[in-house]
Each structure stands twice: as C-alpha cells, then as structure tokens.
Amino acid sequence: MWDEKLQELDSRREKAQLGGGQQRIDKQHERGKLTARERLDILFDEGSFVEVNSLMSSRTTDFGMDKKKLPGDGVVTGYGKVNGRLVFASSQDFTVGGGALGEYHARKICNVMDMAINAKAPFVEINDSGGARIEEGIDSLNGYAGMFKRHTDMSGVSPQIAVIMGPCAGGACYSPALCDYIFMTEKNGQMYITGPKVIKEVTGEEVTTAELGGAQVHSAQSGVAHFVYPDDESCLTGVRRLLSYLPESFEEKPPAAEPVKKYYHKRLRDIVSPNMKISYDMHEVIDEMADLDSFMEVQPDFAKNIIVGFMRMEGRTVGLIANQPDFLAGSLDFNSGDKAGRFIRFCDCFNIPILTLVDVPAFLPGKAQEYSGIIRHGAKLLYAYSEATVPTVTVILRKAFGGAYIGMDSKGLGADFVFSWPIAEIAVMGAEGAVGIIGRKKFDESENPEEVRAAEIREYEDRFMNPYIAAERGYVDEVIRPEETRERVLNAFDMLEQKKKSLPAKKHGNIPL
C-alpha cells in the first residue's frame, strides 16, 4: 500500500515539476527565457526555496479545460532565503497555458502573499503570462482583484518587487504597478494595457510590442520600470542586490554590510566648479560620498535631472536624492516630482535615512511644464519630504534658488541637518534675474545701463548670493569645506540614529496624486 501511494505522490510531483513538458521548456529556452523554477533557483539562496501548493490545479471543466488540467496551475509559489533572510515569491510558468491566470493560479499567489504579510517579509513576483485565462471568465478577474487588494494591504509593511520577464498585459499590469519596484528584461519584458492588435483594430495605428511596452519605453519614457537588465540571470541578481539594502519590514532597520574602504579619493572641489555656468556629473560626487561601488541607482534613464538610489555609508543603507547639473541644469520638472517623491516615501516606509545633495536653479519654466501639471507633480516632492519621519540630511553644493530650494528638503520642510559649501548661492533667484527686477528703473535712467547692471549684479552677488545669510537665520546649520562633507553627514546620521518623530493624528494624508 505504501509503495503504491508514494509512487502516486512522486508521479504527481514529477508532473508538476515538468510544467508544460520538455518541448515547451525547450521553446522557452529558445526565446532566451529561463523556466519559472530556474528563475527561483537564481533568486533564492541555494537549496533554500520551499514550494507551497505545488499540486493545486484548476477546477474548470468548460471549453475542454478538464483535458488541460496540470498540477501547479501555471505558477510556482513558496518561500526561502535571499542573502540569508526570509523572502516569499511567485513565478509564473509560461510553459503551462502561456502562464494565463485563472482562479486557482491567483489563489496560489494570494496565499503566498498572505504568508508574506503575516511574516512581515518581502514578496517578489515574477511575471511571464499571457493575461487572464479566458476560459475561467470572471473567476480570473476576481483573482486579479484579490492580488491587487493584497498588494495594497502589504504596501508599507514589507517591500514588494515585480519582475517582468515576458508578457504582462491588460489588467495584469496593475499587479506590478502596485509593487514598490519593477524590474524588466530588455528583450522579453513587455507591459501594456492594450495590445498592438486591438490598437490597430480600434485606432488603425500600427505599433510593435517593443514600441508599445518594451523595457526601453518603460524605463526612459513612462517611468513605469525602475531597473532594466539584459537577461533573466542578471535581472534576478539585481533583485538580490536590491533586497540587500532593504529591511524585511517597517518594524526593522536596513541590514548593515561590512564597509569597503576606498584608497583613493578625488577632491570634491575638483569635481564641482565655483563657476555656476560650468556643469559637472553629480554621479562623481555621489561616488565620493558612498562606500566603494555601493550606489544602486533607481530609474537611471527616467527624469535624468534628478538622481535617486540606495548607497552605503560605513556599511549602512542611505537613500540618496540629488539634482543632476548635467541634465536640464538640474532643474526640477514634472517627472522629477514623481520620481523623487515616490522614492522618498519608500525610504520613509522602511526606516532608510535620506541624504539630499542640492544644486538646483529652479522648477523648470515653460508652457509644456505647466500643461503637464508641474504644480501638481512638484507638490508630491514637497509632500513626501514634509511627511518623512526618518533622519534627513541636506547638503547644498552650489545653487539653491526659489521654490526648488524649498522643495529639495530645506530646513523649513523639516530637514534635520542642512549643510552648505561656501560657494553655495541660496536665494529667491539668480543675481541677473533679481537685479533685472529690482533695478529696472535705475537701468532705464542710467546713461550706461550695461555698466550699471554689471555693477549691481556684482554687488547683489557679494551681499546676498552666499550661504552666510541663511546660516545667520538658522536655515543652514553649518557652512563646511567640501572635504568635510562625508564626515559631517556620517556624524549627523549617527546622532539621528535614535530619532523618533510622530505626525499629527489623522486617518491618512491626501498626497496630491
């Protein structure tokens, strides 16, 4: 009796392990894609993955579904260790009915998400699916609804990461959209609400899947994707790296790593010119602030005028927000408000201290910006900084003008420490613009308006375009030498280690979405 029962169990397990069969597995490999299980093998520490609900399958019998029934129902779910810490995951199996989501496919994912919520541990979903299983009708749609609800419940409890390694179409897109971060593979990752065929039928427009929802589109134009990698293996290695910066839940602090010492430092004053018209790459400043090779940039191809990402300072995770003078002179546009605002709120969710490096001339002017809602989008940045309760340190390197100065975590918004370099100019606007408004009548009455204008600009710069007035008022805590920056920032974060800050009692705020 035992032999017979164990033989049946082994047979069922083997069938579940094989997914859609060897022929479909071979096709998956031909497309440059790994199987659902191979992907999990890369994501998790070796031998740590434990599968859950491996024998669950669809109950639908209509449309010949009783003959297509397979154990596992097109998705592999379970838990294991990533970098030695607990993580839950689902991995859709394209070899089983194109990874289409049905009632029990969704139930498996919801089950493992419930486990993640209860355990307060991160959840990773690997997407490779043709969408809803049409044969199961509204049960499929309800399955998506259950997933969306759990993503929302889990938001701010533990990190959620979506990985797009194949098609992700229609309503299915909103599952990754509700996650904290989205990874995509260059060749096979696709996300779109409406596919090319439907678009052609409805509008007559011809478009390829890559043009519509490929990795390049979502990383550089829409801002939907946060990370892009060339293939499955490098992409999942990237997921592992990101998780190494993050705590398991909001109840914990980020994990510390052994700091990697640098043996050569480039002088910050050699990177940043005191001439405001000479640009530089802020990444060079970040490299000097961070532990060796520790900066992991988020959305590097979207809203390039602002840089966000995770780095380590003496082994501890820090969230970094910085203007990029090499792109739009570091001005804030409507996309930068979305990008930085969401990143700040993620850091605040998970106890990650925030460092802000400022060199910003303005919110970008122009009709296109106003039409695109720069007021509404820029307000997200202000809101995110204002409600943050984690330690926040700001360093003003050069320019900090007008509303953009306020928005980049000024003292008035709640920054714990604001440092400034001595070359910094902190003002309502640049000297030329200010003098043009204040001294207009004087210029009109002068016989040599250009000479008078130049003299007025020099005087304005000498009197007002410096950090010392802000320091006198307490808007800057200390004016520091560039070479002191890293040490002062580290000392500030050390002091703020036990910071406790609470917001006024409320149900929740209403961020200007």
Could you list the active site residues? 170-171, 403-404
- CA distances to 300, 304, 323 from 336, in Å: 12, 8, 10
Determine the Cα–Cα distance for residues 396 and 512; give it in Å rounded to an integer: 27
Amino acid making up residue 412? G
**DSSP 8-state secondary structure symbol assigned to residue 101:** B
The DSSP result for 342-360, as a single string, is: HHHHHHHHTT--EEEEEEE
Determine the Cα–Cα distance for residues 187 and 286; give it in Å rounded to an integer: 31
Determine the Cα–Cα distance for residues 165 and 36; give it in Å rounded to an integer: 10
Determine the Cα–Cα distance for residues 453 and 431; give it in Å rounded to an integer: 10
Q: Which of 156, 145, 155, 146 is nearest to 178 (CA)?
A: 155
Using the structure block, give the residue that is written with the tokens 């990237």: 238
Q: How many residues in total does the chain contain?
A: 513
Q: Which of 187, 141, 146 is nearest to 166 (CA)?
A: 187
- CA distances to 20, 308, 343 from 492, in Å: 56, 20, 21
Determine the Cα–Cα distance for residues 38 and 445; give it in Å rounded to an integer: 78
Using the structure block, give the residue that is written with the tokens 């969230």: 319
> What phi and psi, each to the nearest 5 degrees, are found at residue 287?
-60, -35
The DSSP result for 276-329, as a single string, is: TTS---HHHHHHHHSSTT--EEESTTSSTTEEEEEEEETTEEEEEEEE-TTTGG
What is the Cβ-side half-sphere exposure of residue 265, based on CA atoms within 13 angstroms? 16
Q: Specify which residues 214 forms β-bridges with.
A: 190
Determine the Cα–Cα distance for residues 190 and 357; give it in Å rounded to an integer: 34
Checking 48-52 for CB contacts under 8 A at 24+ apart, the result is: 48/80, 48/81, 49/78, 49/79, 49/80, 49/89, 50/78, 50/79, 50/80, 51/76, 51/77, 51/78, 52/77, 52/78, 52/79, 52/108, 52/111, 52/112, 52/115
Determine the Cα–Cα distance for residues 142 and 105; give it in Å rounded to an integer: 11
At residue 177's C-alpha, the angle toward residues 176 and 181, to 5°, is 70
What is the Cβ-side half-sphere exposure of residue 431, based on CA atoms within 13 angstroms? 18
**Per-residue tokens: 337:** 């408000």
